[in-house]
Structure formats: C-alpha cells, structure tokens
Amino acid sequence: MKEALLAWFHANGRDLPWRHTNDPYEILVSEVMLQQTQVERVVPRWHTWLEKWPTVDALAAASAGDVIVAWQGLGYNRRALNLHRAAQQVAAHGWPGDLTELPGVGPYTAGAVANFAFGRDVLPIDVNVRRIQERTSEQFDGSCTQALFDLGATICLARIPRCGACPLAAECPSRGQRYEPLRKQSKFEGSFRQRRASALRAVAAGEQPVDGDALVSLERDGLVVLSDGVASLPG
C-alpha cells in the first residue's frame, strides 16, 4: 500500500508552500495555523506572518499585542500566544528534543514538526491519517504523512470516500463502503464547535473519537489529554 500511496502522491499531491521548507519555525507556524483553520485560508496568512516575522528570533522579540493583532481572523487567540511563547523559548534555549515541551505543542504538532523539519520517522495522527489507517488496517510510517493528509482530504473522505479514484482500493478492506451521517446535518451541526463537543462527549464516554482536529483543539484548551494518540480526560 505504501508504494501505491507514494506514487499517487508524487503525481497528485497538493503544492502547499510549507512543503517547500524544512525550517522548523516556518513549519511550526503552519501547523499551529492549520490546527483550526482551513488550508485555503492559512496559505495567505502564513506568507504574511513570515514576512512580518521571518525567523523565530523575530517573533520572540515581538510584543504579545502585535502577535494577537496579526492573528486576528484566524480565531482561537490562545494559539497565537502559545506560538509567541514557544518562539521565546526556542530563541532562549534552542529547539528541545521533546517538542511537546513548547507551549501549545501537543503530540500531533510535535510529530508534524519532528517529521517535516527534523526528518524524524514520526507519523503525526490527524483526523485524515487516523481514518485511513482504520479503513485500510494499514500502519503507515512517517514517510507517508503528507500523502495521507492529501488522500484523506481529497479521496478517502469522511462520509463518501472516492474509492474509484483511490490508489489503495485494490487492497483496502473498506473499499466501497459509505459513512453517511445518521441524520441530516443542520448548519450548526458539523461546525467545528460541535465537532469539539462531540469529540469531548466521546472521550468522556471512554471512546476514541476519529476527529483528530477536534482532539488537538480540545487538548490545547486542557480539556483532554493525548498520550500516544489516545485521548482521555485530564486527571
């Protein structure tokens, strides 16, 4: 499956600007922005941010107020403050071996930065990666990360996967299945706020939600704890 996936990604992968850098600061900015904001909205904001603060030292030297102002429109200002504090910590002490020591950096973001910036064989589990692993029963390694992100965003969709266009279809045990919602969704249903509430309810019930974005968000607010990809309520 891995070979088929990587061949597909080579031909079909999205050309996202943070995929052209291995600078850990630039990667971290992209990952923090992407936690709760769509890719299309993040791209211009990521460029603007890096024009204003091109290095981790530059961001560290900024005022918190300027950082919050620059973040406006992206939502969840706590992310901006944590990114600022993380930059200050890196500027003072360098990048830690354990990236989760940085403010606001949970296991998912740490894994993404470790992989994309430092070349470590880590597979950060987001909602797309988790869904594809569950459907294919395949354990992918870190080299498959970007390909899994794109397959999950464009082919192996949450509700109606496009199995006919999928490079993994020949070996996928879930090929052809549908994942329709139990009832029609209203505008509010399906919102990120509702996804967070749903994920938190599931964790409280002792289940493991598949919505990795919501989990990352809940973890950031201290509402859940993620350990090795397993979510639980804080002690």
Per the rule left: phi > 0, alpha: psi between -120 and 50, beta: everything else, 187 is alpha
144 lines the binding site for ligand SF4 (CB under 6 A): no
Q: How far is the CB of 117 from ligand SF4 (least distance, A)?
A: 28
Told to check if 147 binds ligand SF4 by CB under 6 A, we report no
What residues numbered 94-133 form the site for ligand SF4, per CB under 6 A?
Answer: 132
Q: Is 31 a catalytic residue?
A: yes
Q: 8 vs 49, which CB is nearer to ligand SF4?
A: 8
Strands (E) located in the chain: 225-227, 230-232
Which residue lies nearer to ligand SF4 by CB, 173 or 222?
Answer: 173
Nearest to 1 by CA among 124, 128, 136: 136
Please say whether the beta carbons of 11 and 149 come within 8 A. Answer: no
Residue 136 makes contact with ligand SF4 by CB under 6 A:
yes
Q: Does 154 bind ligand SF4 (CB under 6 A)?
A: no
Distance CA 205, CA 142 (A): 31
Cα(51)–Cα(37) distance, integer angstroms: 20
C-alpha distances out from residue 4 to 82, 149, 151, 224, Å: 38, 15, 12, 35
Q: Which residues, 169 to 188, sit near ligand SF4 by CB under 6 A?
A: 169, 172, 174-175
* For ligand SF4, the closer CB: 52 or 162: 162
Q: For ligand SF4, how many residues bind (rule: CB under 6 A)?
A: 14
Q: In terms of CB distance, is 101 or 171 closer to ligand SF4?
A: 171
